[in-house]
């Protein structure tokens, strides 16, 4: 089942559960599979790298966390992007701002 781009990025809704005494997110009933995420991201980015914006084939992308997991980022689709291998190596476990600055520096 393919998920639409808008469905994947719908606003986060909060529901209060008085029996549990906790708030619960209602926008994510079940985690999306990695395959679904890849298709949604590829369509949303129109097949372009999230760093250098070059076009690449579906099978040649790498999924990246915009905010790295090591710095508190999540696996939620809103924190995922597709990068070409070159940009993913530059970014590593650093935030997106680092990648943007390095690409600007390289471009001169």
Q: How many domains is the chain partitioned into structurally?
A: 1
pLDDT higher than threshold 70 for residue 7: no
**Beta strands 22-25; 62-65: pairing state:** unpaired
Domain hosting 66: range is 30-107
Minimal CA–CA distance to 66: which of 50, 85, 47, 90?
50
Closest Cα to residue 60, out of 34, 42, 77?
42
The CA–CA distances, whole Å, from 30 to 8, 53, 90 equal 12, 31, 32
Q: Taking the model in full, what pTM does it have?
A: 0.67
| Residue 36 falls inside a structural domain | yes
Is a pLDDT exceeding 50 seen at residue 13? no
**Cβ burial, residue 80 (10 Å; 0-12/13-18/19+):** buried
Q: What is the CATH number of the domain that holds 55?
A: 1.10.30.50
Read off the pLDDT of each residue in 51-76 and give the average, rounded to a whole number. Answer: 91
């Amino acid at each position: 089942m393919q998920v639409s781009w808008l469905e994947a990025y719908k606003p986060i809704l909060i529901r209060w559960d008085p029996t549990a005494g906790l708030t619960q997110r209602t926008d994510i009933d079940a985690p999306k599979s990695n395959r679904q995420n890849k298709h949604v991201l590829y369509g949303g980015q129109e097949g372009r790298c999230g760093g250098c914006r070059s076009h690449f084939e579906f099978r040649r992308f790498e999924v990246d966390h915009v905010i790295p997991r090591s710095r508190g980022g999540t696996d939620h689709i809103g924190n995922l992007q597709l990068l070409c291998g070159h940009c993913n190596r530059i970014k590593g476990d650093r935030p997106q701002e680092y990648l943007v600055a390095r690409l600007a520096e390289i471009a001169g």
